[in-house]
């Protein structure tokens, strides 16, 4: 395995509480996939779940180390499966490192969500 990059991010849960109260599902639809929203809505603490998923997206972006950045990122193009820790890339992010796989972990307390992501490339056997 060859590591392409490692990313970390911390998201303030109180900020996501405010965003959720102000924008509700309309806010969530701008930033998260339908599957991610469903997972977050199933949790008792929706703002904490949203903060966790957003922290993962930021950590993945950092792990992929995109080239010179000049376009808006569609955050829905980075999707996190909290059950498996796997990350699916679509759109522009999928082109940053097409040969890479990305995994992430996230933990939170009552104030912050902290995520780490690793982008890695499997070894290619020379057979």
Amino acid 36: pLDDT: 97
Alpha-carbon gap, residue 5 to 87, rounded angstroms:
14
Low-confidence ranges of the chain (pLDDT < 50): none
Tokens linked to 104: 């992430």
Amino acid 12: pLDDT: 98
Assign 120 to helix, strand or coil: strand
DSSP 37: H
Amino acid 99: pLDDT: 86
Amino acid 97: pLDDT: 79
Amino acid 69: pLDDT: 63
pTM of the model: 0.91
Helices 13-31 and 46-64, interaxial angle, to 10°?
A: 70
* Residue at token pair 């569609």: 74
Strands 101-108 and 78-81: unpaired
Amino acid 42: pLDDT: 96
């Amino acid at each position: 395995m060859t590591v392409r990059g490692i990313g970390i991010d911390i998201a303030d849960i109180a900020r996501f509480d405010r965003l959720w109260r102000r924008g509700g599902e309309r806010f969530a639809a701008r930033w998260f996939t339908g599957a991610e929203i469903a997972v977050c809505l199933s949790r008792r603490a929706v703002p904490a779940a949203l903060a966790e998923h957003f922290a993962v997206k930021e950590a993945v972006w950092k792990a992929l180390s995109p080239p010179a950045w000049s376009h808006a990122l569609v955050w829905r193009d980075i999707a996190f499966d909290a059950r498996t820790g796997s990350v699916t890339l679509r759109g522009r992010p999928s082109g940053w490192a097409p040969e890479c796989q990305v995994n992430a972990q996230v933990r939170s307390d009552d104030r912050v969500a902290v995520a780490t992501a690793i982008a890695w490339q499997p070894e290619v056997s020379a057979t």
